[in-house]
Structure 1
Amino acid sequence: MHIQRTVFREDHEMLRETARRFFERECVPRQAEWDQAGKVDRQTWLKAGREGLLCTMIPAEYGGGGGDFGHGTVINEEMHRAGVSGVSFGLHSDIIAPYIVRFGTEEQKHRWLPSICSGETILALGMTEPGSGSDLKAARTTAIRDGDEYVINGSKTFISNGLNCDMVLVACRTDLTAGSKGISLIMVEATRDGFRRGRKLDKVGQRASDTAELFFDDVRVPVSNLLGEEGKGFAYMMQELPQERLGIAIYAAIRLERLLEQTIDYVKERKAFNQTVWDFQNTKFKLADAKAASVAVRTMVDYYIGEHMRRKLTVEEAAIAKLFATETLWKHLDDMVQLHGGYGYMLEYPVARAFVDLRVSRVFGGTNEVQRELIARKL
């Protein structure tokens, strides 16, 4: 049964074809190389920029695609349909760059965005800290004003694009006594004295994602690098997090559908006890459950995509999408590994690769326990 999707326009689908060809041509053949290196080569970032696959939602006057959330979504979907892992185009384009568009001055937008849209400047997001995890209000990295500069001290961890990044959007405490109202967002160039990258973190999956620790030791940046108003950083992050969480739900939906297709193909060919694995009733029942679940996730996610394109998505709805999509994906992914038998544990099979790559979907973007708390507040 094929679900007729109505949320996308013709211009979205045209970009989908461009994205599909790009990921199949430029990314799938390089996946093993990137896994080995622990990061994606910068040439691929520049190629993505030339093909219009970065910053599709950024206005054209700043070098972006001038599109909407649907354009970013089809790129996200095609990357994950291809099984590409660890390429952080979405983080760069759809999570960090919009902060500059929404909260930056015209001077900041014209100064920073053109090279961000072209892939010359790679962005990272410095929110998570070693001692606080998903609790963004507990940030301890400080930015103390000294004349026309901020002096930043502290550290961040689990930072995607940490090794490749040229600029970091850093959540800093500019007022030590104001709680969540003491947090500000400051752009920090990686060339600043006192900025250094720690080790590449050794993750279970997503090996090509260059995840690192970042350290700030008396890093001086001009006050003109402040994004938006001082003390409004936490409120800004709360405004932008729903889109990030919906993005995670979107790729959970597409990965569940694709893994189901691959598992059906596998069990119909794999022989066991003089029949195919498909011939066992248990197999049919497990896959029927997975199919029903994938339709439910797809229906929900497409509804929320439409709501977000109308700027109506709430914090609660984004939490529901992220929680349900990732928990459902994980349950059925575990079943699909089981249906592959021993081959489900071999990384040459997509289902095994997905098993290690996708476990983090229930952790990042705010753990699913945080999503449950957000949902419960509205009960």
Structure 2
Amino acid sequence: MAAPRVPHSRPSRHRDRICAIPRPALATVAPSGRAGRAGPEGHTGHTGHTGHRRTHTDRSNPVPETTAFTESPERQALRASVADFAAGFGEDYWLACARDGRKTDELWAAAGRQGYLGVAVPEEYGGGGGGIGDLAAVAEELQTAGCPLLLIVVSPAICGSIIGRFRTPAQKQRWLPGFADGTRKMGFAITEPDAGSNSHNIRTTAERDDATGDWILRGDKVFISGVDEVQDVMVVARTTHNRPGKLRPALFVIPTDAPGLHYSPIDLGILAPEKQFAVQLDDVRLPADALVGDADAGIEQLFAGLNPERIMAAATATGMARLALRKAVAYTSTREVWGAPIATHQAISHPLAQSHVETELARLMTQRAAALCDAGDFAGAGEAANMAKFAAAEAACTAVDRAVQAHGGNGLAEEYGLVHLIGNSRMIRIVPVSREMLLNFVAQTGLGLPRSY
């Protein structure tokens, strides 16, 4: 099934204004106005969608910035459609997969058939033609339903954004349709054992074989998501004439079955169906067309993927905060100790209310970052995306902690569904970029303070 289509909008004289949210998403909506619910078997009651109608968004009267992020009716319909779809799987399905060592293949395939994975893929490649804001809404609603898809951050967001901007039409045709319908997954490998957060110091090298035109890659990567369930990995390397110290990356797409590519799992105390891996590249020989874009222009290509990565991470964290608060509200509204629900006590209600405020502020910043990214303001999107990821990760961590506290001892009982969120919310303050590195970036770019690294 094709992805939900997104109506095109006219070029705007106000593209530099944050309020111009381009190409709002149309959801895949059943005739009743709600999307059909798909269960773990992949069946759905969906019989069609109304997303084929093309309309233009009126930009003649720009929305004041104070109301810039009231989501369009189309985006709201997309959210409602995804929420209804995700309820057919839910947290029980996701937890069962994680505990049994299974992948969420049924959920991924069903999301692909419904078009949700491809909302940001151009229409000519089978996608919805929307933007990262639409894909972020999908990720947020899946997480809010308790069944997140980690690789939605990697495959259609990071890799899809880079390939969509920098590959040739033939190369786009090779990968983007599979991203749109979920039949193809791609990993992303940048982190290294020694370089850590210092991407300028990556040591994975790409050497050109002048005789054949091939590239030969050597190096090590760590904390690479889902290598065991993707067909390819986009690897960040440096050409041999570029020494460590200043980041001039080159990006390559490597099949996971390529000779010389080896990977091994990293055991984490985190409950999730997707695993993390160490990857070794031992003289991996690649054809010339494995290179993404230009060998010496990789920095622009890299950040074309990293901004969407942060936006998607922020959306996922926002969904996690919403999930924790939903559980806390349900529990405290019915739990009675002194003849009334414990939510009537301000010691219970105020922390939850504060987390709700923090979550909505994080969502607002995430929408701003997505709007800037979709409008082509990549410099502005960089700072906003980092702010969004920081705010959302902090909101998620705090919301989960407050939800556990509101449950008392029950917060640590498996049946209340909060225990696994403790580790996952803590992790999201570290990945894909730590809060400290985010603050370094904001201090430098937002406040003009001296570089700290």
Length-normalised TM-score, structure 2: 0.76
Partner of 2:403: 336
Residue-by-residue CA offset, 1:292-335 (whole Å, 9 max, x unaligned):
32343334333444333333343222222211221233233222
Q: Is contact 2:144-2:323 (8 Å) kept?
A: yes
- In the TM superposition, residue 220 of structure 1 has moved relative to its aligned partner by 1.0
Q: CA deviation at 1:60?
A: 1.9
Alignment deviations for residues 124-180 of structure 1 (CA, whole Å, 9 cap, x no partner): 001111222222222111221112211112221111121101000001121354443
8 A Cα contact 1:333 1:355, kept in partner = yes
Q: Cα 1:122–1:305, aligned 2, differ >3 Å: closer, same or farther?
A: closer
Partner of 1:163: 228
Pick the aligned partner of 2:336 from 242, 248, 271: 271
Alpha-carbon deviation of 1:108? Answer: 1.1
Where in structure 2 are there 5+ consecutive unaligned residues? 1-66, 448-453
Say if 1:27 and 1:170 are closer, same or farther in 2 by CA, change over 3 A: farther
In the TM superposition, 1:198-213 aligns within 5 A as 198-199=264-265, 201-213=266-278
Q: Output the amino acid matched with 2:314.
A: A
SS of 1:148's partner is: coil
Residue number in structure 2 paired with 1:257: 322
* Range with greater deviation from structure 2 (143-152 or 62-71): 62-71
Contact 1:38 1:210 in 2 (8 A): no
Q: 240-249 or 8-17, which moves further after superposition? A: 8-17
Instruction: Tell me if structure 1 keeps the 8 A contact 2:203–2:238.
Output: yes
Deviates more, 1:114-123 or 1:37-46: 37-46
1:350 deviates by 3.1
Contact 1:181/1:232, CA 8 A, preserved across alignment: no
The equivalent position to 1:296 in structure 2, one of 361, 366, 370, is: 361
Q: Tell me the alpha carbon deviations over residues 224-260 of structure 1, each in whole angstroms, 9 at most, x when there is no partner.
A: 1100100222332234322221222223233323322
2:425 aligned partner: 358
| Counterpart among 412, 431, 446 of residue 345 in structure 1 | 412
- Contact kept, 8 Å, 1:40 with 1:87, in 2: the verdict is no
- 2:190 & 2:300 partners in 1: Cα distance? 13
1:30 aligns with 2:97: no
Cα separation, 2, equivalents of 1:76 and 1:149 = 37
Relative distance call for 1:45 and 1:254 in structure 2 (3 A) is: closer
> Which residue of the other structure, out of 310, 317, 329, is the alignment partner of 2:384?
317
CA distance in 2, matches of 1:295, 1:151: 47
Query: Given the superposition, is the C-alpha separation of residues 7 and 215 from structure 1 closer, same or farther in structure 2, using an over 3 Å criterion?
Result: farther
Match of 1:184 in 2: 250
| Residue 51 (structure 1) aligned with residue 117 (structure 2) | no
Please name the residue that 2:203 is paired with. 140
Distance 1:349 1:17, change over 3 A: same
Give, in whole Å, the separation in 1 of the partners of 2:421 and 2:158: 23
Rounded to whole Å, the distance in 2 between the matches of 1:153 and 1:304 is: 35
Contact 1:175 1:182 in 2 (8 A): no
> 2 CA distance for matches of 1:314 and 1:82?
28
2:11 matched residue in structure 1: none
Residue among 270, 277, 297 paired with 1:232:
297
Q: Partner letter of residue 355 of structure 1?
A: I
Partner Cα separation in structure 2 for residue 176 and residue 272 of structure 1: 69
Tell me how far 1:5 sits from its aligned partner. Answer: 9.0
Q: What SS does the aligned partner of 1:64 have?
A: coil
Q: 346-355 or 37-46, which moves further after superposition?
A: 37-46
Partner letter of residue 193 of structure 1?
P
- Of 87-96 and 71-80, the range deviating more from structure 2: 87-96
Note the C-alpha offset of 1:37: 4.4
**1:111 matches 2:178:** no
TM-score for the superposition, normalised by structure 1: 0.90
1:377 CA displacement: 0.7
Q: Secondary structure at the match of 1:140?
A: coil
Instruction: Say which SS state the counterpart of residue 286 (structure 2) adopts.
Output: strand
Q: Partner letter of residue 111 of structure 1?
A: R
Q: CA-to-partner distance for each residue in 1:192-240, whole Å, 9 max, x for gaps? A: 11122212x2223242122222222221110111001002223322343
- CA–CA distance in structure 2, aligned partners of residues 213 and 56 of structure 1: 31
List per-residue Cα deviations over 1:270-308 (Å, max 9, x = no partner).
234665432433213322322332343334333444333
Query: Could you tell me how far apart the structure 2 residues matched to 1:44 and 1:281 are?
Result: 39
Q: Tell me the alpha carbon deviations over residues 97-127 of structure 1, each in whole angstroms, 9 at most, x when there is no partner.
A: 1111111111211222223323222110011
Contact 2:314 2:393 in 1 (8 A): yes
Residue equivalent to 2:435: 368
Q: Which amino acid aligns with 2:169?
A: E
- Structure 1 unaligned residues grouped into runs of 5+: none
Tell me the amino acid that sits aligned with residue 204 of structure 1: G
Q: Is the 8 A contact 1:7 1:305 kept in 2?
A: no
Shift of 1:27: 5.3
Separation in structure 2 between the aligned mates of residue 118 and residue 302 of structure 1, nearest angstrom:
25
For the aligned residue pairs, the C-alpha RMSD in angstroms reads: 2.4
Within-5 A mapping of 1:60-75? 60-75=123-138
Please name the residue that 2:262 is paired with.
Answer: 196
Structure 2 CA distance, aligned partners of 1:307 and 1:172? Answer: 28
Separation of aligned partners in 1, 2:351 and 2:177? 49
- Determine the C-alpha separation between the residues in 1 that align with 2:83 and 2:363: 19
Report the secondary structure of 1:377's partner residue: helix
**C-alpha contact (below 8 Å) 2:99/2:271 kept by paired residues:** no
Q: Is the 8 A contact 1:8 1:70 kept in 2?
A: no
**Are the equivalent residues in 2 in contact too, given 1:181–1:231 (CA < 8 A)?**
no
Judge which range, 53-62 or 252-261, deviates more: 252-261
Q: Which amino acid aligns with 1:234?
A: I
- 1:126/1:156 contact within 8 Å kept: yes
Question: What SS is found at the alignment partner of 2:187?
Answer: strand
